[in-house]
Structure 1
Amino acid sequence: MKIKALSLLVFMACSPLVMAQSGMTDQQVVEYVKQGMAQGKSQSQLVSELARRGVTREQAERIKQLYEQGSLNGTTSGTGQSQQSRSRQRTSESGYDTNRQTGNQTGNQKGTDQNSSEYSRNNNRNNRNSLNDSPEYAPETYDRDVFGEDASTMEELTRMLEASDGMNYTAQDSLSRAIQENEVFGRNIFNTTNLTFEPSVNLATPPNYRLGPGDEVIIDIWGTSQNTIRQEISPDGTINIEKIGPVNLSGMTVSQANEHLKRVLGKTYSGLDTPGGDLEISLTLGNSRTIQINVMGEVLQPGTYALSSFSTVFHALYRAGGVSPIGSLRNVQVTRGGKTVAKVDVYDFIMKGKTQDDIRLQEGDVVIVPAYEALVKIKGNVKRPMKYEMKHNESLATLINYAGGFSSDAYTRSLRVIRQNGEEYEINTVKEINFGTYTLHNGDEVTAEAILQRFTNRLEVRGAVYRPGLYQLNGEINTVRALVTEAKGLRGDAFTNRAVLKREREDLTTEMISVDVRGIMAGSSPDIPLQKNDILYIPSIHDLKDFGDVTIYGEVARPDKYTYSANMTLEDLIIRAGGLLEAASTVRVDVARRIKDPKSTVSTDSIGQMFTFALKDGFVIDGEQAFTLQPYDQVFVRRSPGYQAQQNVQVQGEVIFGGTYALTHTEERLSDLMKKAGGATDKAYLRGAKLTRVANEEEKKRMKDVIDLMNRQFGKAMMDSLDIKVDSTFTVGIELDKAVANPGSEYDLVLREGDVLSVPKLNNTVKINGAVMMPNTVGYLSDKNANYYLDQAGGYALNAKKSKKFVIYMNGQVARIKGRNKDKIEPGCEIIVPSKSNKRVTAGEILGYTSSFASLATMFVTLTNLIKN
């Protein structure tokens, strides 16, 4: 059950807002895909559900990378870390909040270590309980649980990543907007690792901070006497001062504690509690305590949390994983001693930056998140289409403000509201004047439509004016004359006898109105009033004429079509085409011209005219005046018959001077080339020489026909497996010994450019191949016939076609073998025995047949014999 890549394009198109809202661990993402596939969920349903849960491309890439590295484990976090995992992680970090708060206050490591050790012991117990409750987070079991049995899930995630790269940006934007519309504004603020709301550790102790058991206080005394007292407030709320005894500080603010200590220590230090005394005292906070607070209601992880005494409501909500799908962000309550001491509206923080309601928590505080009162969706043409939580009696104007206001293309005169009235849906159209008084209900869906795609005052002028384009219909530009004047007047090529005004009627049909532009501009014809959406078209005289291109072929630098210009001459066109090439003929340049007679009333047998010219230095010399071209003329610059470029051939192997030689005349032959090369060496085997020739287009077509014939005989699949293609060269069967002995004879072939003559050494062996018992290579014996060599290969195979055997010579020639003819066997040749046609030839046999063929041209004769009935 696999997810198709096309549907998975949707997965990775989440907007930046959604990317920060993932509430799923890496493991949960993979498990979700597996379960969805097993349940038979549709592709679009599964992808949409993952996107709504905030699974991002970055998280999927991380899962893939960790899986490939084999390092995937339960500590994986990032944007995809779950609220449960994060909550447990925060709880299990030894002294996390306490250490952060105390490290910069005093620098006394002893007090820090004591507090941290006690806190660590408590949290280790919590951590063990958390791991027992959720064993899937154990690193050693993560890989096995996720991928142990079904690695195909990882393949699906990989395809998600690959498919998303090619996604159309417009489609991504549309999907991202659709996903965003279903998200609740502000919900992600407490469930992302980017915002922790941790209290700052770099601030001085606030004067209104209330001391309690576990806080470490530092009392500095200076003046005539100097002393420092460092004590931790005991569980009964006191510190023990030498010679004084227990002093109660619990519940006092830092300011109150300072004044209280002045009075208490004044009994020991004279001048401390009297005005103008010479002693001063200052109480500061060392290591802060840990407080226990409760987070209840609609949060993802309700319970009791150990936090720093500097923590606020926002930090508590973050530690609880954020609000649940039905939790309220607008009415978070803090109760202390059974009384509500604060109500926090998170939207005030997001929209206005207000933090005064984010109060500092105290021991035993309870943070309560109730269910939301109303959830309203706004979509369409607003800047931030989403769902928003609304308070009782908040208006539509407030919702628009939350959504960032209207987008530039929004219709702002009214909004459509779909409401559930308890029995059915109803539609309300709210006018702009009522936005501030129309109150919203839970479940309302507000839509802001786009403005109409039309203009209220558009005019357009096209054609032969200096500034064509769109113009405003107003009190000054409301006639044809005024519009042309505003467009900076008529161009010199304007056809003023008749222009066209296209007008849109009330029923949206159009009509065409003829306009005498010349008369209107001269004042001799009445001006025409314009209406909105009128389009005035003034043609150019060039638009009314047929100016076809002129074309030049042949021996010029850039043969092509060129735009016709008035009075263009033959010389002009040749210059535009880059001039004549070296091979061009200067005594024959032809111009072909169409027959054009628009006033003719009878048919004619003529279909064109031809003009011929001679040139010198690119100019016509056989006429007194330059030849003027007309539209659609075709110019042919011929190739000079007296022009010949060098043509080279090669000779290699057993010759005195091998290498490349230039042909000196058109009838140069093999014997001529051997003379130029100084003749053959003593070791040359002229009978085995072969000629390799470059194939021209006709010869390549013939080779393709051979391949098509083989495809029909052996099957295209088999031929494709052999990878046989059209060769650019082929071998010509020659008898060089006879050509050298009889120059100019029929054996002495005429050479052509690209030919390569190869003269080998004597190869004193004979190959036997094809339908024989054991293909073999044996030494050549001049007195032995074909049967002798076939016996050396074990004789014929059962499927051998004995009467069709043939021989391939070193020079590329092929010959049939009949009877016991020993004259057909030569050194270096290969005897081939084809198979019977009633048994299908195998690919191995074809490879055996073709292993010695020099080219497809040689193969043609052989394969013709193979496939004959």
Structure 2
Amino acid sequence: AYNSKIQIKRYQGQEEKLIDLDFATAKNFSLLNGDVVRVFSIPQKYENFVEISGEVALPGEYEIEKGWRVADLVSKGKLLKTSKTDLAFLQRKNNDGTYQFKRIDLAKALENNASPENILLMPTDKLIIYAQSQFVDRAQISISGAVRRPTKMPYDRSKKMKIEDLVQMANGLAPKATDFGFIYRKKEEHSKDIEYILVDIKQALTNPSSSANLVLEPFDRLFIPNNDTYMDDANVMISGAVRNPGDYTYDASLTMDKLLLMSGGLRKNADRHRIEIYRVDLSETPIKTRKVEVNVDENGRVEGEDVILMPYDQVRVRQLPDFEFQKNVTISGEVLYPGTYAITKDNEQLLQMLTKAGGPTDEAFLEGATLRRKQDNVGYIILRLDDVYKNKNSKFNIVLAAGDEINIPKMKDFVSIQGATKAGRNYDQKVIGSDNRINVPFHPGRRANFYVDEYAGGTSKYGKKKLITVRYPNGQLKETKNFLVFNVYPKVKKGASIYVGAQKKTAKQKNEEEKEPVDWGKLLGDTIAQATTIITLLLLVQRIN
């Protein structure tokens, strides 16, 4: 606080006044309500100092003494080993607030007190000391690639570090290191110009005094490739009757015995005497493929000397020609013994398999039998089992395949009728199923049109008899055939479904259907009510007259 001046701001009536006091008189000065007291700070900062900064042990401000020079201030700040002594700057502030800088040879100022470099100091002067490292480019060198410890390190300014030194500092070469390397050399760290120098690493390490052991320069990067870089990725493939067929990474140590073990060994159906290796001979032009035959004993080992595999070898393990696991067929429905049965001989047919299952029961519906083949996603095969039982040489006596599913349903002695018929007018809704379907008795020898007329009341408004189709229980479809003006309707069998199709509606027909139907009863009632009202009015008029 500046105690030479204390100021009071006071309001008297309609006026504002300032009262200046010093610290001594202010002690006994009486304050009034509303007074504002202001205590000032010292108006001028201290200036009896000089400052030293930069590469010194004790940087900071020091009280200036009369006659002080640069050497005196340096003795206070203590130079370091890393301080630069041939160059320093003295910063001096001018009265107008600008600065001037004086260059000083610090070594001369310290050697001779009377030297012109040992400038007389003035208050607020600042001496700036630099570090030697600030005037040196900080270069690095590095080593990477196939070494045990890739690393970066500062560059040796003595220019004595060589390739062999750097490799040893990286703990030596990795096992798969190449005998050569590259130095990527830049004149500056961020320069885009790079010189590529091929170096003989093997010679540099075995004979450090040789010319191959180059002296490293600032920003050099030594890279030593891995031998694997110069090898194509190679696999060996094994397929056929092994547990884990596939591709395996090639290595010079890979043999046939090892590959068989890695692939899980031979399967039960493997032919130990039909194992073939197909090998690409890269030494010939044009390139040729050769076959090497291998026999394996009962323990899964190569008979005789093991075979060393080569890159890109393909090993094929053949199956025994007569070896097969059980091929099963499933029989369900109306047979005496439904279940799963194995195909026990080549080209076994449907009738032979059904005989194993005891044949059909008395309730079996042979016409409705189905056969579904899973093999190759074939799906359902049209079947006429009744024809098979009539003639064992029938074309429907199909040769079975593994996974076949045979189903014989129970007897159906009724026929279904559905589609565009008038059944909805003739039967209660609980009798009619989805798609206007009804189930009716079977009539031997009758065709589809008979059932539509007899039980469904004929076709509906848009139904057409020429669009009648019959679906038989085995999935076969029969359509109505048209000969001039005559229709030949399909025959109907037990369990068949008759479908009556409808013609496509025209735009006019669709519009008529969308119109609201006329309620003739309501219209007639409204007309009678209006007529009655008119007659009543006429009678009243007559009475008034």
Match of 1:416 in 2: none
Deviations 1:708-743 (A, max 9, x none): xxxxxxxxxxxxxxxxxxxxxx33221112223333
Once the two structures are TM-superposed, the CA of residue 831 in structure 1 deviates from its matched residue by 2.0
Once the two structures are TM-superposed, the CA of residue 547 in structure 1 deviates from its matched residue by 5.4
* Residues 779, 557 of structure 1: alpha-carbon distance in 2 compared, 3 angstrom cutoff: same
Q: Is the 8 A contact 1:786 1:821 kept in 2?
A: no
CA distance in 2, matches of 1:525, 1:626: 47
Q: Which runs of 5+ in 1 are unaligned?
A: 1-336, 342-436, 438-454, 700-729, 841-869
Letter paired with 2:479: R
Task: With the length of structure 1 as denominator, give the TM-score of the two structures.
Answer: 0.38
The one of 738, 743, 746 equivalent to 2:392 is: 743
* Residues 685, 527 of structure 1: alpha-carbon distance in 2 compared, 3 angstrom cutoff: closer
Letter paired with 1:613: V
Match of 1:574 in 2: 260
Q: Is the 8 A contact 2:469 2:490 kept in 1?
A: no
Alignment of 1:153-552 (within 5 A): 456-474=138-156, 478-496=161-179, 498-506=180-188, 507-521=191-205, 522=207, 523-525=209-211, 527-546=213-232, 548-552=234-238
* Residues 514, 748 of structure 1: alpha-carbon distance in 2 compared, 3 angstrom cutoff: same
Alignment of 1:44-59 (within 5 A): none
Once the two structures are TM-superposed, the CA of residue 486 in structure 1 deviates from its matched residue by 0.4
Letter paired with 2:236: V
Q: Is the 8 A contact 1:784 1:822 kept in 2?
A: no
The one of 394, 417, 420 equivalent to 1:768 is: 417
CA distance in 1, matches of 2:165, 2:506: 91
Once the two structures are TM-superposed, the CA of residue 546 in structure 1 deviates from its matched residue by 3.5
Q: Which has the higher strand share?
A: 2
1:818 maps to 2:502: no
1:610 maps to 2:291: yes
CA distance in 1, matches of 2:489, 2:506: 30
Match of 2:131 in 1: none
Letter paired with 2:368: G
> Alignment partner of 1:594: what SS?
strand
Match of 1:653 in 2: 333
Match of 1:853 in 2: none
CA distance in 1, matches of 2:237, 2:374: 33
Task: With the length of structure 2 as denominator, give the TM-score of the two structures.
Answer: 0.58
Once the two structures are TM-superposed, the CA of residue 644 in structure 1 deviates from its matched residue by 0.9
Q: Is the 8 A contact 1:692 1:757 kept in 2?
A: yes
CA distance in 2, matches of 1:494, 1:532: 24
CA distance in 1, matches of 2:489, 2:468: 14
1:560 maps to 2:246: yes
CA distance in 2, matches of 1:838, 1:585: 68
Match of 2:537 in 1: none
* Residues 456, 810 of structure 1: alpha-carbon distance in 2 compared, 3 angstrom cutoff: farther
* Residues 465, 789 of structure 1: alpha-carbon distance in 2 compared, 3 angstrom cutoff: same
Once the two structures are TM-superposed, the CA of residue 824 in structure 1 deviates from its matched residue by 2.0
* Residues 673, 784 of structure 1: alpha-carbon distance in 2 compared, 3 angstrom cutoff: same
Match of 1:828 in 2: 495
> Alignment partner of 1:620: what SS?
coil
Once the two structures are TM-superposed, the CA of residue 826 in structure 1 deviates from its matched residue by 0.6
The one of 566, 576, 584 equivalent to 2:270 is: 584
Once the two structures are TM-superposed, the CA of residue 652 in structure 1 deviates from its matched residue by 1.7
Deviations 1:292-336 (A, max 9, x none): xxxxxxxxxxxxxxxxxxxxxxxxxxxxxxxxxxxxxxxxxxxxx
Match of 2:471 in 1: 808
* Residues 805, 567 of structure 1: alpha-carbon distance in 2 compared, 3 angstrom cutoff: same
Which has more radius of gyration?
Answer: 2
Q: How many percent identity over aligned positions? A: 33
Q: Is the 8 A contact 2:147 2:170 kept in 1?
A: yes
* Residues 468, 779 of structure 1: alpha-carbon distance in 2 compared, 3 angstrom cutoff: same
CA distance in 1, matches of 2:346, 2:302: 33
Match of 1:676 in 2: 356
Letter paired with 1:816: E
Once the two structures are TM-superposed, the CA of residue 613 in structure 1 deviates from its matched residue by 2.4
Once the two structures are TM-superposed, the CA of residue 751 in structure 1 deviates from its matched residue by 1.7
Match of 2:316 in 1: 636
Once the two structures are TM-superposed, the CA of residue 800 in structure 1 deviates from its matched residue by 5.1
Match of 1:782 in 2: 444
Match of 1:233 in 2: none
* Residues 783, 742 of structure 1: alpha-carbon distance in 2 compared, 3 angstrom cutoff: closer
Letter paired with 2:407: S
CA distance in 2, matches of 1:535, 1:658: 81
* Residues 556, 770 of structure 1: alpha-carbon distance in 2 compared, 3 angstrom cutoff: same
Deviations 1:44-64 (A, max 9, x none): xxxxxxxxxxxxxxxxxxxxx
Q: Which runs of 5+ in 2 are unaligned?
A: 1-32, 38-123, 125-136, 424-435, 508-545
Deviations 1:192-248 (A, max 9, x none): xxxxxxxxxxxxxxxxxxxxxxxxxxxxxxxxxxxxxxxxxxxxxxxxxxxxxxxxx
> Alignment partner of 1:619: what SS?
coil
Letter paired with 2:443: L
Letter paired with 2:493: E
Q: Is the 8 A contact 2:481 2:489 kept in 1?
A: no
Once the two structures are TM-superposed, the CA of residue 526 in structure 1 deviates from its matched residue by 5.2
Q: Is the 8 A contact 2:328 2:403 kept in 1?
A: yes
* Residues 556, 679 of structure 1: alpha-carbon distance in 2 compared, 3 angstrom cutoff: same
Once the two structures are TM-superposed, the CA of residue 511 in structure 1 deviates from its matched residue by 2.3
Match of 1:362 in 2: none
Once the two structures are TM-superposed, the CA of residue 542 in structure 1 deviates from its matched residue by 3.9
CA distance in 1, matches of 2:184, 2:234: 29
CA distance in 1, matches of 2:321, 2:494: 46
Once the two structures are TM-superposed, the CA of residue 767 in structure 1 deviates from its matched residue by 2.0
CA distance in 2, matches of 1:801, 1:695: 41
Letter paired with 1:761: K
> Alignment partner of 1:680: what SS?
coil
Once the two structures are TM-superposed, the CA of residue 541 in structure 1 deviates from its matched residue by 3.6
* Residues 575, 790 of structure 1: alpha-carbon distance in 2 compared, 3 angstrom cutoff: same
Once the two structures are TM-superposed, the CA of residue 484 in structure 1 deviates from its matched residue by 0.3
CA distance in 1, matches of 2:34, 2:412: 112
* Residues 585, 456 of structure 1: alpha-carbon distance in 2 compared, 3 angstrom cutoff: farther
* Residues 526, 664 of structure 1: alpha-carbon distance in 2 compared, 3 angstrom cutoff: closer
* Residues 786, 470 of structure 1: alpha-carbon distance in 2 compared, 3 angstrom cutoff: same
> Alignment partner of 2:164: what SS?
helix
Once the two structures are TM-superposed, the CA of residue 458 in structure 1 deviates from its matched residue by 4.0
CA distance in 2, matches of 1:675, 1:481: 88
Q: Which has the higher helix share?
A: 1
* Residues 822, 615 of structure 1: alpha-carbon distance in 2 compared, 3 angstrom cutoff: same
Once the two structures are TM-superposed, the CA of residue 464 in structure 1 deviates from its matched residue by 2.7
